Amino acid sequence: PQPPQPPQPPQPPQPPPPPPPPQPPQPPQAVAEASSTTAATVASVLPSDSTQIGAVSKHSGKRRPASVDLQGADFHPGAVPKRHGIAKTAGKQSRPPKMSTQASQSVDFVTASPRRTLSRDESPQRSPQGSESPPDLSSDPLYMLIGELTDDPVCQDGVIQDARLTEVLTRLWDGVARKPKDWVVAWQAMVIPMDKQTEVLKKFLNLAFMQTEDPELAPLVAAELCKAHKIKTRSMEEALISFGPNLDGIVAMNEDAWHVYSNFLVHVSPKPAASGWGWSRVGWSWTVWWQFVEKCTQSLDPSRAYDVIALILRLIQDREGQPLGQLPSWTEGVKLQKVIEKLSDLSGSEHVEVLDRLSLQGVDTDGLASLCCLE
């Protein structure tokens, strides 16, 4: 017989297997619905058994919380969000919990499209409507002329180059200067010394007297030069006086050449109140202007000087749209009396005859007789 086996010692009880570690809470589906990118990201990290509200975990056998409140939540590892109750109303979608500033910023970083940063040499693009390229002045005749004057001036070492000056003025007359302001720009580029202004103005007026297509352009240009302080009124006065003795010969070639005197003097007359023409300048009163008129016409033949002043009166009347005897700027003081007296001296006739002659020349003399004490 076999000897009896010794009894086996009792086996110690096996410890139960450790429960699986609890899964960290994940953001609710409300965050995942922000964009497709966030939905895919959240779906990849949520366990497959937690997609339903109140689902039971297969591993732990415990029911998971229905939803998590993200208010005050922190998406850093180890942060524990607060629990949120399940919506009790059936058939209505539960209102997504409010997100904290930090959580919303985290979602923005996920859902926002990446911004392209501009390099240092790259400039931001502008809309086609607001972007306007600057005009190309390289082919502009005036711009080209100004550039030429830098290398080939009209005045060198204080001496006017007559041939060069004639060339520049002719080009300006032929269309390089399209408006009076262009003449101002060109005159500044010529850099004319103050003591040479009268000499250059003589050349300018010599060309202007021969212009028959637009006789008002030359006096307008001269007036703009005075108003822009590019020339002195004294220089223009000296230039006009120099042509006085020879004006009859000029009129033989252009019968309206003497209109330059009248038009220029009207352009620089004191600006009337509430009018858009004339010259507004400190100290430039009617008395100062009238003295300027008498000086500019002193070298003219008396009959020609009479015509110049009579044309001045008619041009001012046309600009104002009413007779001079009804204009406050002319009826104040003894302005009209001085004018009638000057015309009487130039013509050697009485005041009544002066008024009759003015009426024939287009000047409305209504009210002048009473103002001049002729009735």
Q: Are 29 and 46 in contact (CB under 8 A)?
A: no
Residue 60 pLDDT grade (very low, low, confident, very high; cuts 50, 70, 90): very low
How far is Cα 301 from Cα 347, in angstroms, rounded to an integer? Answer: 11
How far is Cα 162 from Cα 96, in angstroms, rounded to an integer? Answer: 90
* CB contact set of 149 (below 8 Å; sequence gap of 6+): 168, 189, 190, 191
Neighbours of 176 (CB within 10 A): 19
Beta partners for residue 84, in sequence order: 67
Residues 271-292: tens digit of each pLDDT? 887 777 889 888 999 999 999 9
How far is Cα 156 from Cα 233, in angstroms, rounded to an integer? Answer: 24
Q: Does the pTM exceed 0.85?
A: no
Between 72 and 201, the more confident residue is 201
User: Mean per-residue pLDDT for 251-275?
Assistant: 91
**85 pLDDT above the threshold of 90:** no
Taking each helix axis from N to C end, the angle separating 180-190 and 162-171, rounded to the nearest 10 degrees, works out to 160
Residue 362 pLDDT grade (very low, low, confident, very high; cuts 50, 70, 90): very high
**149 pLDDT above the threshold of 90:** yes
